[in-house]
Amino acid sequence: MDSLNKGRLFALALALAPMAAAAQTNEPQPGTPAENQDFKVEVEPPKAGSLRAQALAALEQTETLTLYSLEPWQAPRVPTAWHKLPEAKRSGRIDALFEKDRRRWCRGYACIDANRVLGRVETSGADRLVVLQAARESLGKVPNFGYACGAVYRHALAFADQAHRYEVLLCYHCGQVKVVVDGKQDSGDGQAYEMSDLRAINAILTRAGVPLSKDADAKGEDE
């Protein structure tokens, strides 16, 4: 630096001045990765009266807690020609196609939200505590962010209170959760802030001789 003349130093200072000013602001700069931007993660309980909140309350009253292994339904390919149809007509055809294919997939099988049941475990002792933690964590904390990821459910928990049966579907790859009540109402896919250890959940199923879905033990299980 000492070898630079004063003119060059002055020019360099002028060039760096706008960058220094931008760095002093709190505004994320164009091209800055999201993880480096000032985004404050916030977590709150599920909204009062929501299916997620109802399931969380029922969880504390239940006597039995069942863990399921699921083989997820995969949506069939939509004919290319349908994409040229008007939106309303296209949506109607796709909905009908998917509903028909879900019925086909579940024909002759027990299903939870169109996902085949591969097996289940009635939990007790230490295993029950692991599954209870998974349910509390996935239901109890709702973050202010969501992943652009299509949930594919390979695990589920089931329990009941005096009024309803709750099935909580877990997608570990997307960190998403869905609540189904009495096999009818469902909450839609919701983001979870944290979930219990997938390896511990799979170990419970494996010890009981319950098969796992393909890639259910992989971190990228839904890709």
Q: How far is CA 128 from the centre of its chain?
A: 22
Amino acid 149: pLDDT: 80
Helices (H), the chain: 6-23, 51-59, 87-106, 125-140, 198-207
Amino acid 218: pLDDT: 54
Q: pLDDT of 210-221, one tens digit each?
A: 999 987 665 544
Q: pLDDT of 165-203, one tens digit each?
A: 999 999 998 899 999 999 988 888 888 888 888 999 999
Q: Name the DSSP letter for residue 124.
A: -
pLDDT band, residue 133 (cuts 50/70/90): very high
Q: Could you tell me the two tokens for 36?
A: 């480096």
Calculate the alpha carbon distances from 118 to 25, 29, 86, 115, 216 in Å. Answer: 54, 49, 39, 9, 12
Amino acid 125: pLDDT: 96
Query: How is the chain split into domains, by residue range?
Result: 6-36, 45-74+111-207
| pTM of the full structure | 0.76
Q: Domain 45-74+111-207: which CATH class?
A: alpha beta
Q: What is the mean pLDDT of residues 12-24?
A: 39
Higher pLDDT, 143 or 139: 139
State the sign of the Cα–Cα–Cα–Cα dihedral 208, 214, 217, 222: negative
User: Considering the chain, what is the average pLDDT of its residues?
Assistant: 82
- Helix (H) / strand (E) element for 27: namely none
As a whole number of angstroms, the distance between CA 204 and CA 138 comes to 18
